Each structure stands twice: as C-alpha cells, then as structure tokens.
C-alpha cells in the first residue's frame, strides 16, 4: 500500500471504541489489541459492557465500550483519558465524550446520527452541527453506507452486510495508527470458515475502512507507535481470566494431577469455566453444578477423593459458598476458591469491577475461620497466583481464596509465555502409611494434616464439620480441645507468612508517603508514584498480592513512612486491616464506581497529603475528580 | 508428570475379600436415642456391606446434618459428615473424581428434601452412581421436633402449635420426577426387606434412591403405625415384586388394577375380577408414569408399596465424563501444556 500521507510518531495512544452492545465493539477492541500486541507494543485494555445482553438499540444503557492503551514503552494501565474515541452512534458519543482528552480525535459513524437515535440518546440538538464538539478533532465518516457499498456483491442481505460496520471502523483505525490488517484477516478466515459469505463481507468492510483512511481527503496524517522494549522472549496477548485458567491447568500438571473445576455460571467468572471445559484432552473434569453451594461441595468432595479441586465464582457466589468453605476449613482439605469480584452488594454491578470482597474473603464465615487469601496484580499475574493458590492449598491442606476482579478478568496485556521446565513442581503426597495414622496428625513445619484419600487400604476414617479431637480426629466437644484446634488452624495459616515473598517497595524504601494497594490497582498506583516522584515528592508504593497472611515484613515497611495511603476500590477494607493489625494511621483513597482508578486520581489523592507543597495548578486537578473520596483527612 | 492416573486408583490394592459385619463396625459409640429406628438400619447396612464384594477402603459414606447423618461415624469405611443438605453435591465430587469408589449418601427428610432438595434432584437427574438412602421419620429429630417436608398436614409440633399448613412431599414421587434410575422403599422394622432393597440398590449402576420409613421414637413415635403395625400391615402395605401381579390383603385377596389412567383397589372374586385384571409389576418401563402412579398410593385408600418402584439402565454421569475425556484424548492426543501456553497469536521480543 502506498504511503503518501504524513506519518507522525507517537509514544503511546489510548483509543476507546464505543457503540451499541450489538455493534461488536468488544470484538473490534480485541482485534485491535491482538494486532497491537503482535506488533510488539505494550498494551493494557479495559472492556466495559452493560449487564444486559441486548439493551434497547441506540439507548444510553446499551452502550458497550472497549479501551486500549498501546505504547512503545512499558505501561501499566489502560490509560486515563482516551486520545481517540470511535463512536458508532449518538448514545456512544454522549456517554463517552466526557472522558476524552480535549483536542482528542473523535471518529463518528455519521449515518447513525438519525433523528431517532439522537432522541434515544437524549440530544436536544445535533451534536455534529451545534458546535458542541469544537474542542475535538471530529471525523464524520458514513460508516454504514460505506460498509453497505463494500459488501454489495457478497450476496448477503443489507441487514447482514450492515453488521460488518465494526470491521470498517476497525480498518479505518488500523490505517490511522499504521497497523497491519493481516492478523484480523486471518482471524476472520478462521472464524467464518463455515460462513464464507459473511467472512468475505467482513474482510471487504475491513479493507474498505483501511482504504478509506488512505484515500479520503479528511485524514491528512496517520500515526505510528513503535514496538515496546519488553523483556526478551515469546509473548502472547492474555486476559486475566485466560491467565487464571492456564495457571490452574499448569498447577495441576505440575502436581502430576488432573484439574477438577466445579462452577455455576456467573459473570465475570464464566469464561474460566468455558476455557477449561474445552481442555478435555488435559483430563480436566469440569462440573457445572446446580448452584454455587453444590459447586463448592463438589470441589470439597473431589479434594477429599484426592483431586486438585477448584471452584470459580464472583461475589454473590462467594456468599453462598461460605458455609461450605468453612467445611473445608474444618476438614482441612485443599480447595481453591476463585472469586472474580464485581460491584456489590447483592447482584450489584455484574459486569463492572470492584474490590469489595476482601473482608468477606477473610472473615465472611461463622467462627474463627482462617483462610489464606491472595490476589493477582495484573491480568498476566493471574497465572502466577492461580498456581500459587494450589501450591499453598496442597502444602498446607487448606482452602485458599484467590481474589481476581472484573478488570483483571477481562483486561488484557502482553504476556511473556513461561517456560514450563523452569516452574517448580507441586508436591502431592497422599498418606499411605497405616501404622500410626490419624486423620489429624500434623506436619511439624506446616501443621498440615495428612491427605489420606478413599481407596487407600487401612486408612479408613471419618471427617466432618463437627470439631475434631486433636490428632485422632474424632468428634470432640471438649472445651480445651476446641481452643487448641482454633489456635492450630490459625497458626497453620499464619505460618504461610514464612513461605511467601516479602512486601517490596517501589521507589525509596522509606520516605514521606507510601501508597499501598492490592490486586488490580497495581498499574495505576505504580504509574502515579512514578509521576509523583518526577514531580519531586517523596512517594513510594507497596503492593499486596498476599492478603492473608500478610508478608512478614509488612509492619516494618509501613512504619518506614510518615504517611500511608491505601488506595482501593472499596470503602477502605485493606486500610481497616492494616490499621488493626499494625496500628498504623493509614489514610484511605477509595473509589466505587465500577471502574478502575485513573492514574490522576491516585496522584491527586496523594497530593492532598502534601498540603504545604501544593501548587495552584495541582490543586485545581485534585478537585476535578470529586467522586474520589479521601477519607480520614 | 508421570502420575496421570486417577488419584486413589494407584493405591487400590484390594483388601481381603472375606469381610464380615465386624469389619464395618467403627470404634465409635453409637449415640442415637434408645429405640430409634436408625439402629436397625445401621445393623442391616453393616450386615449387608460385606456381601457386596466392595473392599471397605473403596466404600465411602457421606451424610449431611440430622440424626441420620451421624451414620458415617459408625461404619468403618471412609466417611464424611458434611453440612446440612449438601451431601449429594459433595458425593458427586467424590464419585466424579474417583469413579472406582462406591459412594453412599445418608440423608433424612429434612436434610434431603428441605434444605438439600435442590442437590438431591440434581444428583438424581445426572444419574451419578450414588446410593442415596433417605431416612424418612417425618420430623426434625436433631433440632428437637419441628415438622418436616414429609410431615402430614395438620401436624402439631413445637413450631406448628396450631397444626402444620404445609402439604407434604412424597420422596418417592420426587425421585421419580427427578429422573432417578432406581427408586425403592423399605421400612426400619423389616430387616429382611431392608437387606433385599439395599442389596439391589448397591448393585444398581447409577443413582439409586431408597426411602426408608424410620421411626423417631422421641418426637414422632408410631408415624408408620397405620401402615406397618402388625395388625394392619397385611391390608395397608404391599410388597412390589417384579413380574408378579400386585396383590395384598388377607390371603392376597386384594389387588391393584388400572382404571382409566388411575389405579384402584379391587377384590379378587368380586364382580368377576380375576388375577388377570391386576397390574403385573414391571420396574423397568422406560416411561416413569407407572412408577409415579405407584408412588401416589397411600393409606387409607391404598396400601403403601414397598420394594423397587423403578429400575432402568442409563449411562452414569461419571462414566460419560470419563468417556468425553478419553474421546478427546484419542482424537487430539494427550494435552501438551507448553503448546497450550503458546496458543494464539504470539510474537518474539529480541
Ligand atoms: S431424635 Fe428421633 S431420629 Fe433422632 S436419634 Fe432420637 S429417636 Fe432417632
């Protein structure tokens, strides 16, 4: 293809595709992400879609978006304010424009700006005509019309051809950002192998979009983002849910076992069930249970019988599983419980992210019920932490809760494919020795009890939810025995602190402010700290991937800073824990909007703690984000 | 990664086959109320287990909560006293993980039909090879006497001083409706009947559901008196025998025949009725409508049927699960993890 137009180099770009939930925006975004990943950019994505499968077409509630940040340097977040918005209809424009950088590019499908759609979106006047977009670079493209023209001779109906309009938009954006189209062409050919007409129409739309950018007079420049210098190796594009699924399979494989996955469909965890259900040739047993409780029950049963069992769910499901998790606590069986958190309480915001389940994971059960809790920091880290969950579960004979969330689950990043031969095996030692066997004997180091599975001659024994006599494991209501057992179970989990990495500090190991986070907030906090340091502030960050027990140097780290700010997507759950455990006067920076932190929000939250240094410009920035609350301050 | 077999199966060295009742008695003191019907069920189970040809390490008893659910503690096999109502779900996990095990579920009318109703239904419909024994005493015993889902309407208990206003459920009707492939009923006062029913249930491949009428001497004594008291038993109960006409009453004078789409009690010799008019019991009919009709028979209009209502063959859940895995492996070869990790669009960074 001839390149006669100007090409400008950029370091990083944030694009948001937005349209009706029927417009295929998630697909468009994923394709753009894959192409950018293969091109060697660093990427980070944020899909955002409504909970309804098909909200009324053209309505504000039905808008689905996909944001991608791609760059020539290392990035950690999907970006605060998009530089480019592709809006497939007025509703998409209306719901997204507020987030877009002033001066940013707005590409709209002008064909969709009909009176009816404008009314559905609640526009009193025509936004393309009333001058309200004057601070953006707006490109009006008749996407529907051009898609129809491109697909004319495919023999498909007009309605079918029109459905390809997202590929036209994708083609156009590919041109605008100097991306090759071959990854998507290959994908279309595979995906539509059985419906070649449809494949043809999509390909034509994609090409038409690309050529439109090249030839139409309205675009005088396109942009190039060089590949990023990531650590060498082989990469793939991965979402958190994919990484979790792979991590679970890998853990099972490294334990020399097959995975047992029991789950009840729930957003946003279902994808993991789908992924694993495909992997029958790995011997994975997938059980779609009748409800959340049964999924947890079946996982316990499988673990009792010697399986590497995991149940996947989201917050509401975790509530239902509580009683059964406690059974696993009492019977000390290794089960991994995966909670892909979403906005709560109750059904809450099924497709939106939140970190509201931390305290539930730690304490949401009757009695003294210690359960190790860990949380991945990035989509790719879901792989590591899924493996880690099993390692701990099996080694310590305990249920382990793995806290992912909606943002990690659906967000994507490039992933350095691990070399299996370099990963450590997980030791599974079923007890077989008859002499001296008791179900509640304990390993001196880990305090784990023996895993004696049915089928082993001579080890017949009974376990259950009633309190156990120490060692022998018979039912016991003896008061002192109960107290000893409560302490033993707590001590067993506490000892895991000896077996996990120390908390590391990003920035200086001491100073004025430490920003603390856990789970998905890693990216935003890390970049915010870098920015604050560049501005001359004494700020560092520490990120928890282990939440129960905490890394053993936690208290030391917290006490090396004058102030501690805990940034989390809830009303201060980790802050509560740290205050209680370490008597450190943590401040809270919280957000509960179903969305991850923007970097700027963290920067602003931190700046508030430096009042004496605050300059006018920064002050202005702080108050711009009103819904982010800085508590205790 | 050499150990790819089913956990458990690698150690399945059979124990000596000449097992006796004693082998199945645990060292735990039995703690039911004296005179409770549970004792005779336990005794029959311990006597029957050695005859089943299953080594005791391969036997697993799983229960929920309630008086009946203490059962696993008293049987010297693997046992799991779980949480209220969830035994079928936990048992499903055990059986799916290791199909070599013989898995029993011990439950009661509250545990299995109230709090655990959902799990019971789904374990049955999936045809997981579980032997589910439901002790039906029509009362909550362990919580000291509240009405249960099988208590008759009008039942006066601590929680229903003015009488229960719930309609009871029939466990057998429910099991048939839930697609159980084996459904039977026995009563605690008839050990021979229990032995027979438990033996065929154990040999059945697939979900086997057995309701046992069990007397709770403390909170619901004589609940089955009108069915099985010596004085009325002959008129108020009937033993289902496959291939034989359904007859009961003194000298087998009475029988059951179809009238339209309903059952009716008839007397042989009266109005020209002969044995040929009676239903010949067939527990293996593909359609469950007949078994369902039988399950509705109740006193005082009908005698209560005991024995096997329904017994059909269907592939079991765990069998099909294993088959799908095997098929996939024979089609695609055993999964290679490194290949899986490398799937999709990949690129090299130098
Ligand atoms: S309360 Fe009733 S069912 Fe429970 S042990 Fe006593 S007699 Fe048996």
More confident residue, A4 or B7: A4
A632, pLDDT greater than 70 = no
User: What percentage of chain B carries pLDDT values higher than 90?
Assistant: 93
Q: A2-6, A75-79, A473-477 — which is least confidently predicted? A: A2-6
SS3 letters for A279-317? Answer: CHHHCCEEEECCCHHHHHHHHHHHHHCCCEEEEEECHHH
B185, pLDDT greater than 50 = yes
Q: A11-20, A410-419, A618-627, B101-110 — which is least confidently predicted? A: A618-627
For residues A188-202, give the mean pLDDT. 94
Cα A424 to ligand 1 centre (Å): 52
Q: How far apart are CA A143 and CA A139, in angstroms?
A: 11
With respect to residue B94, please indicate whether it lies within any of the assigned structural domains. Answer: yes
Per residue in A439-454, is it b (16+ CB within 10 Å) or e — as a string? bbbbeeebbbbbbbbb
B141, pLDDT greater than 50 = yes
With respect to residue B8, please indicate whether it lies within any of the assigned structural domains. Answer: no
Q: How far apart are CA B304 and CA B193, in angstroms?
A: 14
A53, pLDDT greater than 50 = yes
Of all atoms in ligand 1, which is nearest to the CA of residue B67?
A: 4
For residues A255-264, give the mean pLDDT. 97
Domain segments of chain A as ranges? 6-225, 236-422, 505-632
Predicted confidence (pLDDT) per residue in B64-109, tens digit? 999 999 999 999 999 999 999 999 999 999 999 999 999 999 999 9
Contacts of B101 in chain A (CB under 8 A): 305, 454-455
A210, pLDDT greater than 90 = yes
Fold observed for domain A236-422:
Rossmann fold (3.40.50)
pLDDT interval class at B20 (50, 70, 90): very high
CATH no., domain A6-225: 3.40.920.10
With a 6 Å cutoff on the Cβ, whether B67 touches ligand 1 is yes
Task: Indicate the top mutation candidate among B141, B146, B189 to test ligand 1's pocket, ranked by most ligand atoms within 8 A of CB.
Answer: B141
- Structural contact between residues B305 and B262, judged by C-beta atoms closer than 8 angstroms: no
For residues A259-286, give the mean pLDDT. 97
| A298: closest chain B residue by CA | B93
A-B CB pairs within 8 A amount to 245
For residues B234-239, give the mean pLDDT. 98
Question: Is A432 in Cβ contact with B11 (below 8 Å)?
Answer: yes
Its sign, for the CA torsion A577, A578, A582, A585, is negative
With respect to residue B55, please indicate whether it lies within any of the assigned structural domains. Answer: yes
With respect to residue B341, please indicate whether it lies within any of the assigned structural domains. Answer: no
How many Cα atoms within 13 Å fall on the side-chain side of residue B261?
2
pTM, two decimal places: 0.91
With a 6 Å cutoff on the Cβ, whether B150 touches ligand 1 is no
Of all atoms in ligand 1, which is nearest to the CA of residue B31?
A: 5
pLDDT, residue A611, reads 76
CATH no., domain A505-632: 3.40.50.920
Same fold, A6-225 and A505-632: no
- Give the H/E segment covering residue A544: strand A539-544
Cα B139 to ligand 1 centre (Å): 9
Other C-beta atoms lying within 10 Å of the C-beta of residue B227? 17
With a 6 Å cutoff on the Cβ, whether B218 touches ligand 1 is yes
pLDDT interval class at A627 (50, 70, 90): very low
Residues 466-505 of A with CB under 8 A from B: 466, 474-475
Contacts of B124 in chain A (CB under 8 A): none
Cα B87 to ligand 1 centre (Å): 20
Residues constituting chain A: 633
Question: Is B119 in Cβ contact with A235 (below 8 Å)?
Answer: no
Of all atoms in ligand 1, which is nearest to the CA of residue B141?
A: 1
pLDDT interval class at B17 (50, 70, 90): low
The CATH code of the domain that includes B187 is 3.40.50.970
- Give the H/E segment covering residue A559: helix A554-559
pLDDT, residue A468, reads 96
For residues A592-619, give the mean pLDDT. 82
Nearest CA-CA partner of A342 in A243, A265, A269:
A269
What contacts A488, CB < 8 A, 6 or more positions away? Answer: A442, A447, A470
Please name the residue whose Cα sits nearest to atom 3 of ligand 1.
B216
Question: Is B325 in Cβ contact with A280 (below 8 Å)?
Answer: yes
Contacts of A301 in chain B (CB under 8 A): 62, 80, 89-97
Tokens of A100: 């877009």
Beta pairing class for A285-288 and A259-263: parallel
Q: How far apart are CA B102 and CA A401, in angstroms?
A: 31
- Average confidence score pLDDT of chain B: 94
With respect to residue B189, please indicate whether it lies within any of the assigned structural domains. Answer: yes
Q: Is-cis flag, bond preceding A411, omega within 30?
A: no
pLDDT, residue A4, reads 61
A208, pLDDT greater than 80 = yes
With respect to residue B50, please indicate whether it lies within any of the assigned structural domains. Answer: yes
pLDDT, residue B3, reads 41
With a 6 Å cutoff on the Cβ, whether B104 touches ligand 1 is no
- Average confidence score pLDDT of chain A: 93
Predicted confidence (pLDDT) per residue in A310-365, tens digit? 999 999 999 999 999 999 999 999 999 999 999 999 999 999 999 999 999 999 99
Number of domains composing chain B: 1
Question: Is B4 in Cβ contact with A306 (below 8 Å)?
Answer: no
User: What percentage of chain A carries pLDDT values higher than 70?
Assistant: 96
3-state secondary structure at position B126: helix
With respect to residue B6, please indicate whether it lies within any of the assigned structural domains. Answer: no
Q: Is-cis flag, bond preceding A487, omega within 30?
A: no
Predicted confidence (pLDDT) per residue in A519-554, tens digit? 999 999 999 999 999 999 999 999 999 999 999 999
Q: How far apart are CA A413 and CA B29, in angstroms?
A: 59
Give one DSSP letter per residue of B180-191, joined into a string. Answer: -SEEEEEETT-H
Q: How far apart are CA A204 and CA A146, in angstroms?
A: 10
pLDDT interval class at B335 (50, 70, 90): very high
With respect to residue B37, please indicate whether it lies within any of the assigned structural domains. Answer: yes
A88, pLDDT greater than 80 = yes
Domain that holds residue B152: 21-231+309-318
Q: How far apart are CA B305 and CA B136, in angstroms?
A: 15
Of all atoms in ligand 1, which is nearest to the CA of residue B68?
A: 3
For residues A434-443, give the mean pLDDT. 97
């Amino acid at each position: 293809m001839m390149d006669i137009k100007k090409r400008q180099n950029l370091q990083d770009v944030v694009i948001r595709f937005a349209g009706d939930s029927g417009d295929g925006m998630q697909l468009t975004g994923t394709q753009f992400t894959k192409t950018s990943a293969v091109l060697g950019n660093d990427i980070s994505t944020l899909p955002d879609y409504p909970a309804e499968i098909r909200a009324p077409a053209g309505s504000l509630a039905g808008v689905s978006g996909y944001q991608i940040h791609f760059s020539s340097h290392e990035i950690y977040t999907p970006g605060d304010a998009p530089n480019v918005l592709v809006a497939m209809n007025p509703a998409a424009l209306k719901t997204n424009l507020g987030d877009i950088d002033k001066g940013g590019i707005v590409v709209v499908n002008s064909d969709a700006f009909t009176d009816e759609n404008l009314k559905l979106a609640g526009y009193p006047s025509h936004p393309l005509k009333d001058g309200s977009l004057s601070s953006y670079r707006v490109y009006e493209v008749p996407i529907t019309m051009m898609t129809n023209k491109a697909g004319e001779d495919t023999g498909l109906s007009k309605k079918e051809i029109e459905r390809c309009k997202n590929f036209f938009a994708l083609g156009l954006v590919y041109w605008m950002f100097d991306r090759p189209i071959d990854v998507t062409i290959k994908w279309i050919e595979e995906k539509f192998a059985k419906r070649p007409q449809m494949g043809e129409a999509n390909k034509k739309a994609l090409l038409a979009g690309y050529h439109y950018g090249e030839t139409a007079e309205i675009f005088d420049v396109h942009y190039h983002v060089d590949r990023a210098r990531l650590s060498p190796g082989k990469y793939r594009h991965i979402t958190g849910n994919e990484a979790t699924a792979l991590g679970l399979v890998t853990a099972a494989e490294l334990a020399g076992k097959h995975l047992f996955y029991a789950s009840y469909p729930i957003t946003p965890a279902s994808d993991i069930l789908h992924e694993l259900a495909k992997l029958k040739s790995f011997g994975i047993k997938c059980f779609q249970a009748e409800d959340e409780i049964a999924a947890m029950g079946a996982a316990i049963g499988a673990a009792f019988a010697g399986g590497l069992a995991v149940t996947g769910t989201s917050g509401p499901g975790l509530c239902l599983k509580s009683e059964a998790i406690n059974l696993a606590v009492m019977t000390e069986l290794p089960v991994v419980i995966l909670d892909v958190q979403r906005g709560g309480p109750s059904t809450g915001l099924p497709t939106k992210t939140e970190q509201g389940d931390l305290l539930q994971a730690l304490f949401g059960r009757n009695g003294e019920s210690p359960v190790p809790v860990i949380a991945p920091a990035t989509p790719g880290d879901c792989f590591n932490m899924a493996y880690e969950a099993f390692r701990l579960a099996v080694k310590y004979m305990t249920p382990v809760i793995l806290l992912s969330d909606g943002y990690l689950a659906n967000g994507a990043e490039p992933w350095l494919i691990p070399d299996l031969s370099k990963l450590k095996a997980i030791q599974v030692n079923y007890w077989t020795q008859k002499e001296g066997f008791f179900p509640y004997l304990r390993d001196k180091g880990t305090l784990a009890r023996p895993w004696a599975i049915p089928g082993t001659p001579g080890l017949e024994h009974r376990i259950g939810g009633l309190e156990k006599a120490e060692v022998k494991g018979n039912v016991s209501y003896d008061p002192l025995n109960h107290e000893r057992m409560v302490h033993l179970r707590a001590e067993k989990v506490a000892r895991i602190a000896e077996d996990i990495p120390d908390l590391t500090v990003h920035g200086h190991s001491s100073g004025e402010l430490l920003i603390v986070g856990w789970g998905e907030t890693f990216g935003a906090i890390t970049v915010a700290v870098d920015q604050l340091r560049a501005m001359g502030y004494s700020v560092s960050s520490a990120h928890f991937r282990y939440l129960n027990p905490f890394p053993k140097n936690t208290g030391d780290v917290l006490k090396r800073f004058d102030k501690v700010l805990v940034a989390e997507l809830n009303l201060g759950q980790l802050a509560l824990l740290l205050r209680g455990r370490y008597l450190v006067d943590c401040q809270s920076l919280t957000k509960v909007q179903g969305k991850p932190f923007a970097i700027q929000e963290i920067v602003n939250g931190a700046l508030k703690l430096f009042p004496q240094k605050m300059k006018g410009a920064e002050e202005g920035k702080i108050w711009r984000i009103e819904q982010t609350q800085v508590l205790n301050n | 990664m050499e150990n790819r077999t089913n956990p458990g199966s690698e150690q399945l060295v059979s124990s000596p086959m000449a097992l006796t009742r004693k082998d199945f008695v645990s060292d735990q003191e039995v703690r039911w109320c004296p005179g409770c019907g549970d004792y005779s069920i336990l005794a029959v189970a311990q006597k029957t287990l050695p005859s089943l040809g299953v080594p005791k390490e391969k036997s697993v008893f799983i229960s929920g909560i309630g008086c009946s659910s203490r059962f696993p503690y008293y049987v010297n096999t693997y046992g799991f006293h779980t949480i209220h109502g969830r035994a079928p779900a936990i048992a499903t996990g055990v059986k799916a993980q290791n199909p070599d095990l013989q898995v029993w579920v011990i439950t009661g009318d509250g545990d299995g039909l109230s709090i655990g109703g959902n799990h019971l239904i789904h374990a049955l419909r999936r045809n997981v090879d579980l032997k589910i024994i439901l002790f039906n005493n029509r009362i909550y015993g362990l919580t000291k006497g509240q009405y249960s889902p099988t208590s008759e309407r009008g039942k006066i208990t601590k929680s229903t001083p003015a009488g229960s206003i719930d309609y009871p459920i029939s466990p057998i009707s429910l099991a048939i409706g839930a697609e159980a492939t084996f459904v039977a009923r026995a009563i605690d006062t008839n050990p021979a009947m229990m032995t027979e029913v438990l033996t065929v249930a154990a040999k059945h491949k697939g979900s086997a559901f057995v309701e046992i009428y069990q007397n709770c001497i403390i909170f619901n004594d004589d609940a089955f008196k009108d069915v099985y008291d010596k004085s009325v038993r002959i008129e108020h109960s009937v033993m289902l025998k496959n291939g034989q006409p359904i007859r009961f009453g003194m000298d087998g004078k009475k029988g059951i025949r179809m009238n339209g789409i309903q059952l009716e009690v008839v007397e042989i010799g009266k109005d020209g009725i002969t044995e040929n008019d009676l239903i010949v019991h067939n527990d293996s009919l593909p359609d469950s409508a007949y078994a369902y009709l039988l399950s509705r028979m109740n006193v005082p209009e009908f005698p209560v049927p005991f024995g096997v209502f329904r017994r059909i063959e269907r592939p079991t859940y765990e069998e099909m699960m294993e088959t799908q895995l095997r098929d996939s492996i024979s089609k695609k070869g055993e999964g290679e993890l490194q290949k899986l990790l490398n799937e999709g669009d990949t690129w090299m960074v130098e």
